[in-house]
Structure 1
């Protein structure tokens, strides 16, 4: 189920009421939707400021805030964020605190989300982090909160956001409570959750085993990274030059235990169902990743480095990012900020961007930072305070607490949360009696079993400190220091400086796992772990100095696009579950070709590379597909498209549409009979690598369709069936003439409001809050990464570049940027979706940075006075 449905379904009837109101009083409706629009020019009083603050906005409504002090700067940022996007901020804080029911009322999905997040304790961990943060960080967070609250002061909910008017038709809407600095810190937990690494692969291995029943065959569906085909981020020479040491990975020990009888399968199925309830605010599953790269000045037109970044996250309206410039009028030790880039509404500072000396980009590293522990628990079920878990033959107390979930318009719900030494017990928010009764491996302690989740983000950390450290970084040493603070989520950092350096740094709190002799399950974090044996416990964390990094690599290029970080066996053990590197290798190949041809890389060529739509699926599949004999001219039409195709998945490509249909069908025909129900392949880079290897094995058992007794299919039979069935599907969807097909007619980007999205809403409401869909090219594992999920039955975009930026360190004012929708969260604003068309077309906007450039581009000027 889409996480965006969590609050949406309760509002369908509410929206219908709103339509009646609008139809009855169109003039009043205009007032309702326009009332929250903020003042963006003139003068406004902002009590608490030390001096005047200037807020200029360019043609896209992007604010640049200039202040005399850091406190004033972040107070103004909080005020402006609340002006533009307070409902988004309020929705996010209700989710991250496990209080969604308090906002939307009685709703099964909202309550399920609240229970799981309360079990995790995101808000509790954020509260614990507060005292660990630097004083400057706490000051910035408090100033931001003060600015938000100054905007909220005295405003009726209908003056803040139209969403409150809609919600108020169903449940009473009191004035939003004041913003607390912890609300900002808690957002980092949602960020960490959505970018947490190989959690899904760990679940998938166990679930796949329940059907396949063969560990070796499961391994074939999770192949090792193909470093002979796709390079990792860093080479062995890069690591040697940077002095990065080698840490032996935990062993994926071979084992003979019958996992089907271990209880682990049932445990993982139950945990998967529980954690599916968590709303994903950044994205999930296929397509969530990013591209980033940096090129040294020796290869560029300006003679200075160029940096590019486009994080691939879910698409929503408003988009995930808020563009902003933050400038101290006189940059000094007392007020050191001069930074511009992409922020999160609800979080002070800039997350990705550049200052006057350094630019940085982030992509998801994907390190394995979660593990499931199957726990043996003793004690009465109705006495959580008296329960114990077994560890090394000893009884260890299980801690418990009671959470009260308030539900708007209904009775409170009480929840008992239990934790073992490994983490919260997620089985308390599920009906998983089958786990408690399941048999376990020989020699394991008998009794009732539960499932706990260990996750680095559930320990207090310093990521909030890291945000401001990046904003103030000026060189590689500063980046390394900021990275050491960036506990979760683990991200690849690429950076470049105006004085000509480029580099890469891996941050993150990465668990060290021991190689367990005689392990009943692999001990490398790829499978769930016995909680009763401390040999499986984390042994600490990778030292910051051992994290992979490089400064000024010899070839003058760093590409980080979610692929493996280091060659196998070199550097610290981070994970075995990477993106398989097709995007990354395409970027590197094109950059290398341009350099070899003598092309001077500039902003324009870099932006063009971000839009590259060459399909690796074409490279892998088409040679095999066009070699098959199909005598029927009707079905051969599709093959003819593929024979003439250049492999570019443009929105108007008929061949791209056909290959997508063939790919989806091929995956279903090959694997659906072997995998658990509801777990068809998503079609991402892992599945591309699986099929690439299988194409050389025409008689592999995977090709055989077990649903056809007495018939053993091979590769060619399945490929032919996929070609024929795809032709039939697209004939029904797009017409008989194959040459008239277009990929963009199937593959559309449709950002949805997190609460008021979906086709079930009245058309008038949909058109107000959800931008019209746009046909786009690209696709999964393509540089222009508009992902789609082959298991969903739809070709619609599930994740995409949430923004695109290109920074020229030789002339910061020549840099460009675009975000998915626009700067505003108000549907009635001209800036709600005014960048969406440019984004879909691959266009970008000028990104002014200097005082002169921002002044020249200013369309509105607002002066905030004490």
Structure 2
């Protein structure tokens, strides 16, 4: 017994000492909040004042000095995030995370962004490189000044590598992966649909937009005609347990602005929500940068969000202009069919004659495993990304591969811009993933355009993969700035975007036929902006928090109609009061909203499942996937609505006796969802039960026991993917602000999680509750609580 007690005591002591060591290491990785840091690389002192939420105000005499100190703060608060971003872009994550990331690394290494980043760096102008080198120097000093490495490395049993200037370029490339296609899937899907379904049915099922579009120019796209195909539309699909989620979430955002004639202050007002994946820590880091050089008269006072890994303010206000971004989804890439020079040849045809593919060997070293060599094939137009159904190799011409895709000088210039007109001109010189820029200035001017260089195509429109072998098709550089659509001070003094089509006609053709989001969000925003003639910041916040399910209203009517028709059915009767009194809003307590949403998704899924059977030919078996996701479209709502209301007999999917049977099958699947997801308890089938925020630190995937320490509580959320208040379990507003330039003191700001990912920080999760509840919080940092000085 004594030996057992001794062993237990020894084990207890070991656990205690291990816990104390881990806690000590955890505390040692906290950032410095007060004191003086000697920084010989600075030209003059820089003061840092943090408020109670950890938001810093940096005051210095040069932009390079501010970049150095911002890099220091980023490293101390967010280095693990920065490390992950550069590794994601370079295809090097498995070096840190192990073999679980190996497949992703292979896919991303095809683009060889590490070598491209070095080329971008080599071409930078001196002023740009000065700021970038200063930032990298601050990052590495901040990392060294931690008493212990960021705590994540302790659990991963790894050591952080120093930050290189090229890693900032990789940080921008990470956003290209997040916001654009790296494999041309939209073009490839169009081609597959046309080949498998025929051009008429493919155009109908995969339209480029719908009547829900709300472009700034009020343009309409031609409505695809109802197909005249009379053959069977495919076998009856298997019954899937419904989850109410068919369309994929479009990573993007909402932004809009109203001119000074409509604001209470006389300045323009800009609102911006950038919808991205939610995580701990949040993608953005808030900061205020004040540059005041009395000797040269150089001044800058800018507040907004920064991206750890880069030295600039991404979106915010400098007192003269305010700006925000949404992902544009314009067409910035093309899939090029490589034609063999002759049968069995390894050469491919080009306008200059047959050429061999270049092969580059990329070494991938996964943690805990042997290194492997990946052979990347490079064509004249880009890397080989796969083969088509005919076995032809496909190359990818993507603007992200070009030097024009990344530069720092454009964002640094935007920070200093004094007017909306000048900001729109700078937009075309930015080197970031292509965004809808919405800007307003202190004089009340507003405008919109698309950022960054855009391809100048010739011989084709970019909708489908084509061969460029004979020289009749391709890119002829980039559009001239004056060719890029711009809207400035429109007559109604309002601009808005929400990832859907923004313009029509010739302008639409120049931007390209990308993977635009459904127009419901943009339409809901537009309608609210047009419903008023006077706005202040809180009016804008109310639009940002709009959770009305306008898109679902007609589906609620359809569901209710069919439920009434089957009111005698014992399973249907309980649904009627919930659907009838659904409230029309995506609020957590609503059962009716979730029923309507699930019903709509199940009808869409059933029809697309049936029609796209020929597109699945040759797909690998998915034996372990019991809930086969349908091949569908971001614009699927309208084609399906037309089918079930116009009821073309010749297009009735196989296995159904009538269109009523299709709708009733959707109701049956909705009941199946209630049974499988709520245990058959209708009252538990609330929207909040499905739409709980699951915001997680990536480390908790590796060490689940850290969830209680690192992750915020799983809160039911209002909002959905089809309305201004975008919300899903893992996606939502990564920031939300409203600001009138020159009136930042009355601006509003929300951000999930907090400035830091460190659980022992005094401001861990500070501000998160404001984001959850939609409570107005200040745009500017509050009163200083901690102060630091960086001395040269």
TM range (shorter): 0.7 to 0.9
The Cα of 1:783 is off from its aligned counterpart by: 0.9
Q: Which residue of 2 aligns with 1:454?
A: 397
SS at structure 2 position matched to 1:545: helix
Deviations 1:558-610 (A, max 9, x none): 11111212123446522234223111111111121122xxxx31111111110
Q: TM-score, normalised by structure 2?
A: 0.87
Structure 1 distance, partners of 2:632, 2:395, is 30
Counterpart of 1:645 (choices 582, 587, 591) is: 582
Structure 1 distance, partners of 2:362, 2:737, is 43
Counterpart of 2:38 (choices 45, 52, 75) is: 45
Q: Which residue of 1 aligns with 2:284?
A: 321
The Cα of 1:167 is off from its aligned counterpart by: 0.9
Q: Which residue of 2 aligns with 1:744?
A: 688
CA distance change for structure 1 residues 563 and 422 in 2, over 3 Å: closer, same or farther?
Answer: same
Structure 1 distance, partners of 2:102, 2:537, is 47
Q: Which residue of 2 aligns with 1:127?
A: 118
Q: Which residue of 1 aligns with 2:71?
A: 78
Structure 2 distance, partners of 1:607, 1:584, is 16
Q: Which residue of 2 aligns with 1:413?
A: 372
2:441·2:741 contact (CA, 8 Å) conserved in 1?
A: yes
1:656·1:743 contact (CA, 8 Å) conserved in 2?
A: yes
Does residue 1:843 correspond to 2:781, yes or no?
Answer: no
Q: Which residue of 1 aligns with 2:252?
A: 289
Over the aligned positions, Cα root-mean-square deviation in angstroms equals 2.9
Deviations 1:147-202 (A, max 9, x none): 0111223657xx1211111111xxxx34x332111110121112123222694422
The Cα of 1:682 is off from its aligned counterpart by: 7.8
2:385·2:394 contact (CA, 8 Å) conserved in 1?
A: yes
The Cα of 1:470 is off from its aligned counterpart by: 1.3
- The count of residues paired between Structure 1 and Structure 2 equals 739
CA distance change for structure 1 residues 21 and 723 in 2, over 3 Å: closer, same or farther?
Answer: farther
Q: Which residue of 1 aligns with 2:529?
A: 591
Does residue 1:474 correspond to 2:411, yes or no?
Answer: no
Q: Which residue of 2 aligns with 1:717?
A: 661
Q: Which residue of 2 aligns with 1:620?
A: 554
Q: Which residue of 1 aligns with 2:150?
A: 161
Does residue 1:807 correspond to 2:739, yes or no?
Answer: yes
2:559·2:599 contact (CA, 8 Å) conserved in 1?
A: no
2:559·2:596 contact (CA, 8 Å) conserved in 1?
A: no
Counterpart of 1:230 (choices 213, 217, 220) is: 213
Counterpart of 2:190 (choices 185, 194, 205) is: 205
2:305·2:314 contact (CA, 8 Å) conserved in 1?
A: yes
The Cα of 1:426 is off from its aligned counterpart by: 2.5
1:236·1:567 contact (CA, 8 Å) conserved in 2?
A: yes
Q: Which residue of 2 aligns with 1:526?
A: 463
Q: Which residue of 2 aligns with 1:779?
A: 720
The Cα of 1:68 is off from its aligned counterpart by: 1.9
The Cα of 1:858 is off from its aligned counterpart by: 1.3
The Cα of 1:825 is off from its aligned counterpart by: 2.4
CA distance change for structure 1 residues 138 and 740 in 2, over 3 Å: closer, same or farther?
Answer: same
CA distance change for structure 1 residues 833 and 332 in 2, over 3 Å: closer, same or farther?
Answer: farther
Structure 2 distance, partners of 1:312, 1:131, is 33
Counterpart of 1:862 (choices 767, 788, 791) is: 788
Q: Which residue of 1 aligns with 2:482?
A: 545
Does residue 1:61 correspond to 2:54, yes or no?
Answer: yes
Structure 2 distance, partners of 1:541, 1:324, is 34
Structure 2 distance, partners of 1:627, 1:680, is 28
1:305·1:501 contact (CA, 8 Å) conserved in 2?
A: yes
1:369·1:455 contact (CA, 8 Å) conserved in 2?
A: yes
Structure 2 distance, partners of 1:728, 1:208, is 30
The Cα of 1:285 is off from its aligned counterpart by: 5.0
Structure 2 distance, partners of 1:332, 1:457, is 40
Does residue 1:363 correspond to 2:289, yes or no?
Answer: no
Structure 2 distance, partners of 1:474, 1:859, is 31
Does residue 1:191 correspond to 2:175, yes or no?
Answer: yes
The runs of at least 4 consecutive aligned structure 1 residues that moved more than 6 Å come to: 19-24, 378-381
The Cα of 1:681 is off from its aligned counterpart by: 4.2
Counterpart of 1:30 (choices 16, 20, 23) is: 23
Structure 2 distance, partners of 1:166, 1:300, is 51
Pairing of 1:335-734 with structure 2 (within 5 A): 335-377=298-340, 388-392=347-351, 394-427=353-386, 439=390, 449-461=392-404, 462-515=406-459, 523-570=460-507, 572-576=509-513, 577-595=515-533, 600-628=534-562, 629-630=565-566, 631-675=568-612, 676=616, 680-681=629-630, 685-699=634-648, 703-704=652-653, 706=654, 708=655, 712-734=656-678
Deviations 1:471-521 (A, max 9, x none): 111113421332121244111111111122111122232223334xxxxxx
Structure 1 distance, partners of 2:14, 2:188, is 47
Structure 2 distance, partners of 1:148, 1:20, is 38
1:607·1:806 contact (CA, 8 Å) conserved in 2?
A: yes
Q: 5+ unaligned residues in a row in structure 2: which ranges?
A: 1-11, 225-246, 623-627
Q: TM-score, normalised by structure 1?
A: 0.80
The Cα of 1:727 is off from its aligned counterpart by: 2.7
Structure 2 distance, partners of 1:20, 1:93, is 40
Structure 1 distance, partners of 2:428, 2:644, is 43
The Cα of 1:784 is off from its aligned counterpart by: 0.7
Q: Which residue of 1 aligns with 2:263?
A: 300
Q: 5+ unaligned residues in a row in structure 1: which ranges?
A: 1-18, 238-248, 253-283, 441-448, 516-522, 788-796, 849-853
CA distance change for structure 1 residues 294 and 682 in 2, over 3 Å: closer, same or farther?
Answer: farther
Structure 2 distance, partners of 1:736, 1:632, is 16
SS at structure 1 position matched to 2:645: coil
